[in-house]
Structure formats: C-alpha cells, structure tokens
A and B are shown apart, each in its own frame.
Chain A
Amino acid sequence: DTGVSQDPRHKITKRGQNVTFRCDPISEHNRLYWYRQTLGQGPEFLTYFQNEAQLEKSRLLSDRFSAERPKGSFSTLEIQRTEQGDSAMYLCASSLGRLGKNTGELFFGEGSRLTVL
C-alpha cells in the first residue's frame, strides 16, 4: 500500500499526558499537512511542511503542539499536557507540490483518533 499511513489509529490518554502521532506520506510527495477534525466539523488546517521545512502554522496550533519532519519524509505531531479539548481526529495528508489546478491534490491518511479522559 503506497498511500498515506498514520500511527496509531486510536489513542486514549489521561489529561496531562503527552501523545505523539506519526505520519508517513506518499513517498514522492514533498508536502505534508496536519489537519484536525472534531465531531460535526470539517478538517481544520494545523500546519504544513515542504520537505523538512515547516512553512505555515495555524493559530489552532498552540504551544503545546509541535510538529516535525526531520528528514523530509515522515512527520510526527506531539501534543504535550493533553486537555480534553484536544480530543479529535488528527489527519495527515500529503501532496506532490503546490496545491491547486494542474498541480497537487491532498491525499489523506485514515487519521489518528485521540480521546483525552
């Protein structure tokens, strides 16, 4: 399978604990995105990388959140001191180059569901 893969698929944690999610994009895709989806909402942009450079971050990405893509391949999203409001589906996506007509679409992984008790 050469699609976007995410791990773990489900994570249940207690408030205050740290969690880390991993995303492996489609191998030739140089752009990687993190989105968050809560119940009844569409995906909300968190951040994106072009190769190893993190080029844009949303205001939703508080200082408890950190994302890395150290070698321009896989990425990790860490949430420190989790809060119940962090409970959501965290979606990773990748694209081959810039988004838009004649260029790249977003290819999503299956998501990592976080439940904070």
Chain B
Amino acid sequence: DQQVKQNSPSLSVQEGRISILNCDYTNSMFDYFLWYKKYPAEGPTFLISISSIKDKNEDGRFTVFLNKSAKHLSLHIVPSQPGDSAVYFCAALSNTGNQFYFGTGTSLTVIP
C-alpha cells in the first residue's frame, strides 16, 4: 500500500533550466511533507519541508508547493545545476508522528 507516490522514476534537465519533481499522496491525515536528496552510496539528506498550513515554502533555489485538495506536492529547482543530480525522495509524516512514508524516488540528471 504505497501512500506516497512518485510516478516519474527519472528526469533529465539542462543546466540552468527548471527541474520539477512531483509527488502524490493518498492519506489525508498527512500534515507535514519533506523532500530528501540521496547521492549514491550515501544516506538521504534533508532538503526542504512544508507544513499543511502552507502552500509554498522556498529555500534558495528550492521551492516546494503543496496542493492539499489534490493531495499533490512538487519540488522546483531553479536554476538546476549538475550537482543537483541525485535521487529525490518525497516523504510524508504519519498521523502518529512517528514515521515518514517515502515515495519511490525520482532520479534527476542535470546535463551540463
């Protein structure tokens, strides 16, 4: 039962352009969402988060948008840089607050 879904396994973007990574969830009780970034042979690292009371959160080149009615969030990276090439996981906090549910990840490749 995949409660958090990332339907695009991979994405390629030219350097300098915008990268848009998408995530959908099914559980309406989720109220906190995060994006994690993972390089090969490393653990995931926290990138940016958003609470359900907001619809947008921005941190430098990274912006996360939340559409609660559609149960959809997206991560925008602009401008994209080659160092952004990694696997990006969307995660949602369970209603018990004790675990994150992760999506299957999107592998982003930024082409120089």
Contact = CB atoms under 8 A, between A and B. Distances in A.
Interface of A: 4, 33, 40-45, 48, 55-56, 91, 93, 98-101, 105-111
B98 A56 contact: yes
Contact of A91 (B43, B93, B96, B103): B43
A107 B96 CA distance: 19
B4 interface: yes
A98 B96 CA distance: 10
Interface string B94-110: 00111111111100000
Contacts of B51: 101
Contact of A109 (B43, B46, B93, B104): B43
B42 interface: yes
A33 B89 contact: no
A41 B43 contact: no
A7 B43 CA distance: 13
A95 to B, nearest CB: 10
Contacts, number: 61
B87 to A, nearest CB: 9
B32 A101 contact: yes
A108 B99 CA distance: 13
Given A45-B100, A91-B44, 12 more contacts: A33-B99, A42-B91, A42-B102, A45-B101, A56-B98, A91-B43, A98-B97, A99-B100, A106-B46, A106-B100, A108-B43, A110-B42
Contact of B44 (A43, A55, A98): A43
B46 A43 contact: no
B105 to A, nearest CB: 5
A107 B46 CA distance: 7
Nearest to A50: B98
A42 B87 CA distance: 10
